[in-house]
Amino acid sequence: MSVKTKHHYEARAKVIKAMAHPSRLLIIDALSRGERCVLELTELVGSDISTVSRHLAVMKNAGLVATEKSGTTVNYRLRVPCILNFFGCIESVLKEVAEEGRRAIG
């Protein structure tokens, strides 16, 4: 089954790191509804276009997204849709934390 070498964990971590940023999660969310070019994503994220371009480069390098050129614009799409399943689990983590907070108060 799983081999669990140090390198293996590093490879996994690289993929997860590529998601571990608010703007990148927003981008994933947007891409889950279809392809988007850099400019569109820039408007959604609200950072400088160079910043968004770099976020996308990180995600692409990790294998999360793929690109397709169309004239002068570059369209990004999700490459492995199963990452969308993460969010349900993340929500339940947040929910647990919230409940704990509530218990601590009341």
Answer with the entry of DNA, a copy of itself, none that 25 interacts with (C-beta below 5 to 8 A by kind): a copy of itself
Task: Output the six-digit token pair for 62.
Answer: 């990790």
59 binds DNA (CB under 7 A): no
- Which of 33-41, 47-55, 68-76, 83-91 is the region at the interface with a copy of itself (rule: CB under 8 A)? 83-91
Nearest to 56 by CA among 71, 41, 43, 69: 41
92 binds DNA (CB under 7 A): no
Q: How far is the CB of 43 from DNA (least distance, A)?
A: 10
Nearest to 66 by CA among 23, 20, 35: 35
Residue 70 or 95 having the CB closest to a copy of itself: 95
CA 97 – CA 3 distance, rounded (Å): 32
